[in-house]
């Protein structure tokens, strides 16, 4: 497996783990890898009547900081632009209160991935 393929496989595994964690916590998953002209939203889900626009950040090592620290103001800006496009395309979702959630995924024991959910990770 090439380095690029391994990176994609690790990212997919992290998103799978994040989806499982969100479902475990009672979220209803609506979209995964929702693509817009402005960027991609990893997961769009509902927690009750609240729309969660979810970014998944995976870190195998903390040499360059935590997963949360990798969400810079530039990433937040792209995330928000993609969310605005999602809401313009999906008017039923635009009627709901929305927030930006973050799922940090880290390597755990063995092949296990640990997930940590931060609701309302940032605000505009």
> Could you give phi then psi for residue 90, rounded to 5 degrees?
-120, 80
Whether 57 is covered by a domain: the verdict is yes
Q: Which residues pair with 113 in a beta bridge?
A: 107
Number of domains in the chain: 1
Residue 97 located in a structural domain: yes
Whether 121 is in a domain gets the answer: no
Range(s) of the domain holding residue 80: 3-113
What is the spatial distance between Cα 52 and Cα 43, in angstroms, rounded to a whole number?
8
Which CATH number is 101's domain given? 3.40.1350.10
**DSSP H or E stretch at residue 34:** strand 28-36
- The answer on pLDDT for 124 being more than 70 is no
Task: Report strand pairing: 28-36 vs 50-59.
Answer: unpaired
pLDDT one-digit tens code per residue, 79-118: 999 999 999 999 999 999 999 999 999 887 777 899 999 9
């Amino acid at each position: 497996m090439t380095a690029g393929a391994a990176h994609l496989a690790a990212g997919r595994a992290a998103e799978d783990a994040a989806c499982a964690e969100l479902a475990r916590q009672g979220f209803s998953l609506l979209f995964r890898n929702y693509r817009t002209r402005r960027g991609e939203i990893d997961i769009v889900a509902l927690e009750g009547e609240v729309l969660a626009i979810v970014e998944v950040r995976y870190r195998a090592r903390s040499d360059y900081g935590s997963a949360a620290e990798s969400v810079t103001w530039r990433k937040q800006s792209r995330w928000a632009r993609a969310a605005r496009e999602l809401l313009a395309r999906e008017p039923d979702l635009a009627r709901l209160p929305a927030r930006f959630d973050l799922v940090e995924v880290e390597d755990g024991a063995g092949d296990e991935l640990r997930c940590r959910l931060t609701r309302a990770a940032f605000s505009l």
